[in-house]
Amino acid sequence: ALHASDGVILNFSKHGMYIETSCIYEPGTMLMISKARRSPSFSKGSFGETRPPSLCLAEIKWHTELVEKDAFRFGLGLAYM
């Protein structure tokens, strides 16, 4: 089943990215990332990239539950395919 979810990229490199989202996904899940938005808190990726890919297929390698200001969110570590 396909469904859309919003999230924000907080870190990225040439191998993958870290995003935070309101949806939980299990490791091994494949995601199509499109129209990627990055956090305004950084200007370049880990290897000097200026922008994350605008469209990519990525596999979730790990996830964590975050608690901020009484709101549950999830952090996802993704590897590009």
Reply yes or no on whether the pLDDT at 44 is more than 70: no
Report which of 66, 68, 61 is spatially closest to residue 13, judged by C-alpha positions: 61
Three-state SS for 38? strand
Q: What is the mean pLDDT of the chain?
A: 79
Report which of 55, 64, 65, 58 is spatially closest to residue 79, judged by C-alpha positions: 58
Which of 12-21, 22-31, 37-46, 69-78 shows the lowest mean pLDDT across its residues? 37-46
Between 1 and 58, the more confident residue is 58
Reply yes or no on whether the pLDDT at 21 is more than 70: yes
User: Which are the contacts of 46, defined by CB distance < 8 A and separation ≥ 6?
Assistant: 11, 12, 13, 14
